[in-house]
Structure 1
Amino acid sequence: MPHSLAVSIEEIVRRPDPKAAGGELVEIHALLHVERNSQKPMLLGKGGQIIKAIGSEARAGMETLLGARVHLELHVTVLGEWQDDPKKLNRLGY
C-alpha cells in the first residue's frame, strides 16, 4: 500500500435488495487517491488481484457494520501531491 493514500466516497445509494425480501442493498462508489502514477499498480496488482482483495475485505466489514448487503465499487485515481496542497486536502475532507 502506498503511504499517500486517501479514500473519498462519491455516492451511497440505499435501495431494496432484489435478492432478499425485506432486505436492503447499499451501493457505495469510492475513489482511492494516490499521489503518483507509479503508485496505481501497487493498489491494482496483477490482473486487479489487490484491488479485488481490498474491496472484498472492505465490503465484508461494511456489511457487518451496516447490517445490509453492500455493492462496493472502487476506482483508483491520481491526485498529484494532494498531501501538500491545502485545497486538495480540504476537498478530501482533511
Structure 2
Amino acid sequence: MQKMTRKPTHPGKIIKEDYLKPLSLTITDLASFLGVSRKTLSKIVNERASITPDMALRLSRAFDTTPDLWLTLQKNYDLWQAEHTSGAWRMVKPIPPQLLHSHG
C-alpha cells in the first residue's frame, strides 16, 4: 500500500479554494452551472459527501479538467481515511503466494 504522510485534501475543499473563491462564485451559482441542487454541492464543498462519477463528469466539463482528476482526488482521500480510521483491514490474512500463483 502506498504510504501518504499527510492527509490528502478533500475535493470539496479544492472546489472551494481553487474555484469558488477565485471566481467569486457561490455554491448556488456553481450548483446552477453544474445542474445539481445547492444542497448536493454544499455537502461536497463542506466535505460531507464524495465526488461521484457523475459529479466528476460535471465538474470536468464546468472547469475544463478531466473526470479522472476529480475521481483520483476522491480516491486518494477515501483510501487515506480508510487506512487511518479503520483497523478492520489489518485483520485480513494474506493469501499465501503459492496459492495465488498456482492457478493456470
Q: TM-score, normalised by structure 2?
A: 0.28
Larger radius of gyration: 2
Which structure has more helix as a fraction of its residues?
2
The higher relative CO (CA closer than 8 Å, separation ≥ 6) is in 1
Which structure has more strand as a fraction of its residues?
1
Q: TM-score, normalised by structure 1?
A: 0.30
